[in-house]
């Protein structure tokens, strides 16, 4: 594939999985990497609606076939990065574990995406995003005073998982290109989600965070950092943590600072929250936007994902784009010299098998033999 972006010379093999591993591969593709997805023969899917699978080609390999495994090893010998998201031991049983792969390609970065990690008492247990972040303390810190609330699967699968896998494989690639030494990247969601809580551990060490949910500065406990309902049932977000921003909020709301002291102790938080709630209930969300948006009170309306696209700021930055009739996130982050781009819609599994094998050095006769053997 002809690509552009900061990773345009990087070749990636993605052994197809769920959730965070495909999202990592999507990000690498958006940044220009040539990502080949290894699918199962007979698998279904593809098309513009499969946003997480956009931007790569698909090679269908029957990895129960010795011929297919040998072909995969040959491709591994040419790859920069391998990504897999299976339970520990699956790739080894297929004959494609790290020992085999790094023997074929000592410079290979072998990225492994799991929830629990490659070892530990839970390593072989099934689980999903919610279970992983529950174990780390992240879920226990998110929600109301009465109950934790699932934060979509952003904190685990995509924040603690895919982002750390992407960071890990690119860090390892930098090392491999400087030293010639490849390595295994064990990207576990429990590790990544724990890492994301560094600021909470810092606040706790400073005596500014407790395990009581809804009682802290950034978890909805503070009156000046939270979400409020408006007269029309919509919501706004408010976050003037700094004294000068809080003072500006009081000015915009025409409130006497003597009656609204900036209280970091928590002593008057519940009272102030109730009073703020009553104030914000007096106007619609749009009315509050007219008064507060764009100022330093640290304000934004709470939008749904459809509304977000048409907001002037999001629209000017084209943060959401229409690609082949499907609205989806644009590649991020942005680069001044080597911008990324969406390369293609998600491929139909196996649609690119012959082209991929040709590009990776297989002769026509070899491709025909693989097909005859049922390996491709």
Tell me the torsion sign for CA atoms 46, 50, 56, 61: negative
Q: How confident is the prediction along the chain (376 residues), in pLDDT tens digits per residue? A: 667 899 999 999 999 988 899 999 999 999 999 999 999 999 999 999 999 999 999 999 999 999 999 999 999 999 999 999 999 999 999 999 999 999 999 999 999 999 999 999 999 999 999 999 999 999 999 999 999 999 999 999 999 999 999 999 999 999 999 999 999 999 999 999 999 999 999 999 999 999 999 999 999 999 999 999 999 999 999 999 999 999 999 999 999 999 999 888 888 999 999 999 999 999 999 999 999 999 999 999 999 999 999 999 999 999 999 999 999 999 999 999 999 999 999 999 999 999 999 999 999 999 999 999 999 9
Tell me the torsion sign for CA atoms 323, 327, 331, 334: positive
Residue 51 lies in a domain: yes
Looking at the structure, tell me whether residues 93 and 240 fall in a common domain.
Answer: no
Which CATH number fits the domain that encloses residue 259?
A: 3.30.1540.10
- Is residue 128 part of the annotated active site? The answer reads yes
| Contact predicate 342/30, CB 8 Å | yes
Distance between CA atoms of 343 and 160, rounded to whole angstroms?
25
Distance between CA atoms of 314 and 296, rounded to whole angstroms?
19
List the catalytic residue out of 157, 191, 219, 352.
157
Which CATH number fits the domain that encloses residue 340?
A: 3.40.50.10540
Element (H, E) at 327: strand 326-329
| 238-286 pLDDT, tens digit each | 999 999 999 999 999 999 999 999 888 888 999 999 999 999 999 999 9
- Is residue 256 part of the annotated active site? The answer reads no
Distance between CA atoms of 244 and 183, rounded to whole angstroms?
49
Domain that residue 280 falls in: 226-302
Q: Find the largest Cα–Cα distance for the chain.
A: 84
| 142-171 pLDDT, tens digit each | 999 999 999 999 999 999 999 999 999 999
Does the pTM of the predicted model rise above 0.85? yes
Looking at the structure, tell me whether residues 74 and 163 fall in a common domain.
Answer: yes
Residue 319 lies in a domain: no
| 99-129 pLDDT, tens digit each | 999 999 999 999 999 999 999 999 999 999 9
Looking at the structure, tell me whether residues 274 and 352 fall in a common domain.
Answer: no
Angle of CA points 226, 142, 281, to nearest 5°: 25
Domain count, the chain: 2
């Amino acid at each position: 594939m002809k690509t552009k972006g900061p990773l345009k010379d990087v070749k990636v093999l993605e052994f197809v999985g769920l959730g965070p591993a495909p999202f990592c591969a999507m990000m690498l593709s958006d940044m220009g990497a040539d990502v080949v997805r290894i699918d199962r023969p007979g698998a279904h899917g593809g098309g513009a609606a499969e946003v997480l699978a956009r931007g790569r080609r698909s090679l269908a390999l029957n990895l129960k076939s010795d011929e297919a495994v040998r072909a995969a090893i040959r491709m591994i010998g040419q790859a920069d990065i391998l990504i897999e998201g299976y339970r520990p031991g699956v790739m080894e049983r297929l004959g494609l574990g790290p020992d085999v792969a790094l023997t074929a390609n000592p410079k290979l970065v072998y990225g492994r995406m799991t929830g629990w990690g490659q070892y530990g008492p839970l390593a072989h247990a099934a689980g999903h995003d919610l279970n992983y972040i529950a174990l780390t303390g992240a879920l226990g810190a998110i929600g109301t005073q009465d109950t934790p609330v699932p934060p979509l699967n952003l904190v685990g699968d995509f924040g603690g998982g895919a982002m750390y896998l992407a960071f890990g494989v690119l860090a390892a690639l930098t090392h491999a290109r400087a030293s010639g030494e490849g390595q295994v990247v064990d990207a576990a969601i429990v590790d990544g989600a724990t890492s994301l809580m560094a600021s909470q551990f810092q606040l706790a060490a400073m005596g500014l965070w407790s395990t009581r949910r809804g009682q802290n500065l950034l978890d909805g406990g503070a009156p000046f950092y939270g979400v409020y309902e408006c007269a029309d049932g919509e919501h706004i977000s408010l976050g003037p943590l700094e004294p000068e921003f809080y003072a500006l909020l009081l000015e915009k709301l025409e409130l006497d600072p003597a009656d609204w002291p900036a209280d970091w102790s928590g002593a008057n938080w519940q009272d102030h929250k109730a009073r703020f709630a009553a104030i914000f209930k007096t106007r619609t969300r749009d009315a509050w936007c007219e008064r507060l948006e764009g100022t330093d009170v640290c304000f934004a309306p709470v939008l749904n994902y459809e509304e977000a696209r048409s907001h002037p700021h999001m629209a000017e930055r084209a943060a959401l784009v229409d690609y082949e009739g499907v609205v989806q996130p644009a590649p991020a982050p942005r680069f001044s010299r080597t911008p990324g781009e969406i390369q293609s819609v998600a491929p139909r599994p196996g649609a690119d098998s012959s082209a991929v094998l040709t590009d990776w050095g297989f002769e026509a006769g070899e491709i025909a033999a693989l097909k005859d053997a049922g390996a491709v």
